[in-house]
Amino acid sequence: MALHIQPYRAEHEPAVADFNRRIRAAGEDENLVFYQSATPRWLPPASSSRIHNEFFLAIANDGVHGGYALKTQDFLLPDGQIRSIGYYHHPLSEGIVDKAHAAIGMLLLRDAITRSPLLYCLGMGGYERPLPQMLIRLGWSHFAVPFFFRVLRPAKFLRQMQTLRHSAARRLALDLAAFTGAGWLGTKLFQSYRALTSPRVKRSEALEVQIFSQETQSLWVDARSNCSLTAVRDHQTLRLLYPGSESHLSRIEVRRDGRLIGWAVVGERRHDAKYGNLRVGSVVDNWAFPGESLSIVQHATQVLERQGFDLILTNQGHQGWGRAFLASGYLPGPSNFLFAASRKLSELLEPFDHVKLRMHLTRADGDGLPRNF
């Protein structure tokens, strides 16, 4: 059975529907399906755009047996050059339900590397999952992008956070902390302490905008040397990634004395059982003039507080942004949001352990936009 990996076209859609039915019938997670439409809804290829998303399928004579998505986007690299880099996401192989297809996962990845040797993966759900294990075995460089969270409603958080409530003793202790107010007191004391000990910042104003202003272009140019690796976040890219039509996202511009010093994008995360019925906000993306990250984090946090969220989450690759979130009362948590770079890309990221500290990676660099971040 000869298998070929080729671009997903409209005529393949019925075969993809069959493939999805077979995966579902085998009892896998019903969300674990490949894209039903050959044309990506998010960032479809357009001749005028340097950022786009494409789908590829593993096709044999008897149908489709796997597929993956490849986002192509310009990145600034440590050598100061801007290069087009591929992001490998949503791989799905029939090998997960039928071991006769065990080779397909590897073939999909090899195909993506051939198409885009400068390739990365982001997210992946933790090191125990098959994809990161495969990447490590192939010699990819990797690290877990630091995760931070801030509790806005401590009692609700203690009662709803399912990942903390895995035993009867834990549930009792958390309920006690919630109902006695000890959880609230502890959280507020910690956040007050952080507020008192964090660096002072000069006054600035935040404005929620429908579309990012032209000044984001000069901010991109002025601030990019602070990063070893970052997706291009110029004005054109921001308007493409965060169009005014995405009403579930808030675009925040922060100014001091009328001058733009940074921006952030925040929004509500999709419901996830592990958070119970908490309303979870996310700092999806952010950018600032060097030294101004703390102001941006504070304003982004205030916007999410005003929107009534119970908990705020974020992932931040750059250590400077990590420090700003910690100084703003966020806590670090275990991260399952992994970054992995192909061997070709890793060659441009040497020394990796040093370079990774200034990689500007956020949820926006993953597959979560426009709604699942």
Please identify, using beta-carbon distances, which residue of 90 and 224 lies nearer to another protein: 90
Phi/psi at 260 (nearest 5 deg)? Answer: -70, 125
Please identify, using beta-carbon distances, which residue of 236 and 336 lies nearer to another protein: 336
In the complex, minimum distance from the CB of residue 106 to another protein, in angstroms, rounded to a whole number:
5
In the complex, minimum distance from the CB of residue 103 to another protein, in angstroms, rounded to a whole number:
5
Helices (H), the chain: 13-25, 104-115, 130-137, 154-160, 168-180, 182-197, 215-223, 235-241, 293-306, 319-327, 343-347, 352-355
Please identify, using beta-carbon distances, which residue of 136 and 211 lies nearer to another protein: 136
The Cα–Cα gap between 218 and 29 comes to: 45
Contacts with 331 (C-beta within 8 Å, 6 or more apart), sequence order: 148, 149, 150, 151, 190
Binding residues for another protein, per CB under 8 A?
A: 1-3, 5, 93, 95-96, 99-100, 102-107, 110-111, 130, 133-134, 137-138
315, two tokens: 């992932």
- Name the packing angle between helices 168-180 and 182-197 (round to 10°): 70
Overall size of the chain counted in residues: 373
DSSP 359-370: EE--GGGTT-TT
Please identify, using beta-carbon distances, which residue of 314 and 346 lies nearer to another protein: 346
Dihedral angle computed from the Cα positions of residues 127, 129, 133 and 134, in that order, rounded to the nearest 10 degrees:
-140
Contacts with 283 (C-beta within 8 Å, 6 or more apart), sequence order: 264, 265, 266, 297, 300, 301, 304, 312, 313, 314, 325, 362
Please identify, using beta-carbon distances, which residue of 138 and 144 lies nearer to another protein: 138
Please identify, using beta-carbon distances, which residue of 100 and 189 lies nearer to another protein: 100
The Cα–Cα gap between 93 and 105 comes to: 6
Q: What is the largest CA-CA distance in the chain?
A: 67
Please identify, using beta-carbon distances, which residue of 99 and 202 lies nearer to another protein: 99
CA 107, distance to chain mean position in Å, is 25
**Residue 325 in contact with residue 315, Cβ under 8 Å?**
no
